[in-house]
A and B are shown apart, each in its own frame.
Chain A
Amino acid sequence: MEYTIFTILPIFLLPFLAFVLGSFIVKRSEKLAMAISTVSIFVSFLFSAKIFSDFIFSQFSKDYYIHKYFNWFDLSSQGLEFSVDLGIYIDNMAAVMLLMVTGVATLIHVFSIWYMADDKKYGKFFVYLSLFTSAMIGLVLSDNLLSLFIFWEIMGFCSYSLIGFYHEKEKAGEASLKAFMTTRVGDVIFLLGIVAIWGVIGTVNYVDIYSAIANGVFEGKMVLGISLATFAGFCIFAGTVGKSAQFPLQVWLPDAMMGPTPCSALIHAATMVAAGVYLSLRMYPLMELGGITPFIACVGGLTAFGAATIALVQTDLKAVLAYSTISQLGYMVLGVGVGAYNAAFMHLITHAIFKACLFLSAGSVIHSLHDHQTHDHVQEMPRMGGLKTKLPLTFLAMMACTLAISGVPLFSGFVSKDRILGDALYMAMTNKVYWVAYLLGALGAGLTAFYMFRMMFLTFFGAPRDEDVYKHCHKESLKWNRNVPLLLLSIFTLGIFFSGSPSGQGIVKFGGEKYEWFKVLMVKPIPKNFTTYSKEKLSTQDNRDKILWPKSSYESHDYGLNEEDEHRLHTAHIISAIASVVIASIGILIAFLMYIRQSFSSERIISRAAKFYKILVNKYYMDHFYIKIVIRRGLLKFNRLLANFDLGIYDRYAIDGWEHISRYCYRIADFFDRYAVDKIGVDGFGFVIKDVLNKGLRFLLAGKVQFYFIVLFLVLAFYMFRISTA
């Protein structure tokens, strides 16, 4: 395939143009906006499928890449060089990501056609979806952190808009504000990280960053007393924490479920939240250099476990899925932290597929259930139950995904998650810090199996708990736009698509290396091999001979370990796989006993551990801490204080105080004017004239002619005397 403007850019531009067009015509024809949006994303899916097949099937090589750039703006003048290039960088990872994003987005668009059909703002929803998809594609295609950040934030905006989609609800406003601001915390720190790198190496191109790492540019550079690589790595990881809802910024994601369910599936499960992990993977060499991988692993483990515990007590169908998303993202971050590059990325893809499917199924369930008093959809699991017969296809899809997420062998989740845990165990053998991460992850896996099956059992099995809702549940009709996306997605929850070995651990091998394409192609970049590379201007021509890396730039999939380490790795994987299966089956078994067999009731456990239950229901009081304490008691109080200081004290006294000072000044001036000038100067002059000169002159000028004459005579005499003596 020729890689030119015409074959790469449409992937990004088609949804974007659909957004632009859609936003103009949505007023006239909602249906047309929907159609444009869906068709454009489908076409861009075809383009990315072509790229995918080209990368994976035709060029089965980890060194295959496309890198094209164009100049965004240039500030060079007077010998000061500075220009910003944006570009497209597609390697195997981006190709897989592209396929996943466009594929899932297409299916979700299709599903939305059914789901949103009776919504007032039908067209507007698709307009937002188009913008979102184009931003996500742009993010994947980006060759540098700057344009990644741009698309990152645009996605944040779409997320904000879609969470606040039902803007007549007060809660939607709160949730959207919370989501945007929480991720913004991470984003601002992320921006600082970008700026830090940019300032030092002059570009934020991934490849340039890799080669800078290899060339030792980062060595000895300090920022605020810590090394630049640590600072930048930490800042960039903060972006991941915000976007991928890791501890401590995970609070926004559950609230984000206020949006329509398809948007939850696309944005808050499959793509946007995964973008954070994608970023961490891209910047993995930097984080490794900065030495923050243990920290990342612990954050991931903590999130994976913590979110799973909260999910145990949720009663809202979407909330369970939201917490499970956080938890699964925690696994991916854990994977990044333990260096399970390939597995973390695989979990990203598998999770995107099964979680999108889970959300769509949940949407399908919710859409079928109505409360007849309020005419709202029902999301509460305690009011469901026994829906298996009414919604068989939805049940089937959801069951497949539940099996996948719980880590049941043969399903994709098992392959990816347990590779992460296997690598974590391997790392724990060498470094004790990772034990925390591994144990949290392994425990979380058991909890995951439990709460997912709890959800399934509560929703689909047993007797209906709310007869009224059950009675009015619409029987599932075979609508292509409802069921095809679900079933297609659920097919891809099978592990076979990602790994030739059904266990995923390479124990039982199936087929040749090509079946292990994921493991072979998605590998860690080695910075030192990126020192020489070429990129070309984005144009209508394609220069094909520059496409392969001059020498292999990625590690081989066996991590280049020696035989002993290889053996240890192998052992760790086997142990971890067995442990996972055991833990997962225990989880499933407990759920089964509790909700199907009713061997022991959940109420009793809840009443026994009431305190713990309360903590979990309140989500470890983190919302409370952020909103009530940090924001309301801290920030807002401080702001009010400052604002009152500004206008009430500073302005009133320090600035308007000058008025008083000038008032005193003019009082003094007035005093001076009135007394010194007016009284003494002016009136005094009058006094002199009137009382002194007047009386004297009156005496003199009394008309006494003889007196005048005497004076005249004396004066004359005086002058005569003067003349005569001179």
Chain B
Amino acid sequence: MGLAPYLIISMILFILGIVVMMARKNIIAILLGIELILNASALNFVAYSRFLTNNIDGHIFSLFIIVVAAAEAAVGLAIVIRFFQVRKSIHIDEAVWLNDEV
């Protein structure tokens, strides 16, 4: 089995993540989309590392990504909770405070 199936899966994951980020208005769903994209990239790293080089740099990077994703999810969820406390909603279009028209 070669590199291609991994990349295809990674691409599907990436596109799914993108679509989620673009289409869903729920902030938690968007965060999930981001996780998907991160996972897609982590998969890419591991796949490339496995098939193109003989070292484990890619693996380490994917571990980093998992850590960062966890941290990011924690921070993001905290923001979402704060946001929900203020706005009583987790709809992304509510987060337009910079616009003075609101």
Contacts and interface: CB of A to CB of B under 8 A. Distances in A.
A702 B99 contact: yes
Interface in A686-726: 698, 701-706, 709-710, 713
Interface in B71-102: 92-93, 95-99, 101
A698 B21 CA distance: 23
B98 A703 contact: yes
Nearest to A713: B18
B22 interface: yes
Nearest to A703: B96
B97 A703 contact: yes
Nearest to B96: A703
A702 B22 CA distance: 16
Interface of B: 18, 21-22, 25, 30, 92-93, 95-99, 101
Determine chain A's interface SS by DSSP, over half rule.
Answer: helix
A430 B21 CA distance: 142
20 contacts: A698-B99, A698-B101, A701-B99, A702-B98, A702-B99, A703-B95, A703-B99, A704-B92, A704-B96, A705-B92, A705-B95, A706-B21, A706-B25, A706-B30, A706-B92, A709-B21, A709-B22, A710-B22, A713-B18, A713-B22
B94 to A, nearest CB: 10
A704 B21 contact: no
A704 B22 contact: no
Contacts of A709: 21-22
Interface residues of A, number: 10
Given A703-B98, A709-B21, 4 more contacts: A702-B98, A703-B97, A705-B95, A706-B92
A710 B23 CA distance: 10
A703 B97 CA distance: 7
Contacts of B97: 703
Contacts of A703: 95-99
Interface string A28-40: 0000000000000
Nearest to A701: B98
A4 to B, nearest CB: 116
A399 B92 CA distance: 145
A710 B18 CA distance: 9
A704 B93 CA distance: 6
A702 B92 contact: no
Contacts of B25: 706
Nearest to A699: B99
Nearest to B101: A698
B39 to A, nearest CB: 18
Contacts of B30: 705-706
Nearest to B21: A709
Contacts of A701: 98-99
Interface in A500-558: none
Contacts of B22: 706, 709-710, 713
Interface string A382-419: 00000000000000000000000000000000000000
A710 B99 CA distance: 19
A703 B18 CA distance: 19
A571 B102 CA distance: 141
Contacts of B21: 706, 709
B16 to A, nearest CB: 14
A706 B30 CA distance: 9
B22 to A, nearest CB: 6
A701 B98 CA distance: 8
A713 B14 CA distance: 12
